[in-house]
Amino acid sequence: MDLTNHVMTDLFDQLGLPSSEAEMTQFIADHRPLPESVKLADAPFWSKGQAQFLREEINEDSEWAPLVDQLNTSLRA
């Protein structure tokens, strides 16, 4: 298991998204608010691969899960 402490920029990089502070802020602003009835991985703006990654990381409670949860919260705020 990788014990690296990931940060949000790492998650955006992992998802293949621009990861500067301004780009992450803009991504969240562009996709907020995500309705409570829509699971994060089911949001329409993800590619199939991105959605699969998000779903797997949450289901497996992986090292990425806390950041995925943080992104989920940010998109619903």
Q: Is residue 19 part of a domain?
A: yes
Domain range for 39: 8-76
CATH label of the domain that carries residue 45: 1.10.10.1130
Q: Is residue 70 part of a domain?
A: yes
- How confident is residue 1, by pLDDT bands cut at 50, 70 and 90? very low
pLDDT in tens, 31-63: 999 999 999 999 999 999 999 999 999 999 899
Q: Is residue 3 part of a domain?
A: no
Domain count, the chain: 1
Q: Is residue 13 part of a domain?
A: yes
Distance CA 24, CA 62 (A): 22
Q: In terms of C-beta density within 10 A (0-12 exposed, 13-18 middle, 19 or more buried), how is residue 45 classed? A: exposed
Q: Is residue 27 part of a domain?
A: yes
Q: Record the pTM.
A: 0.89
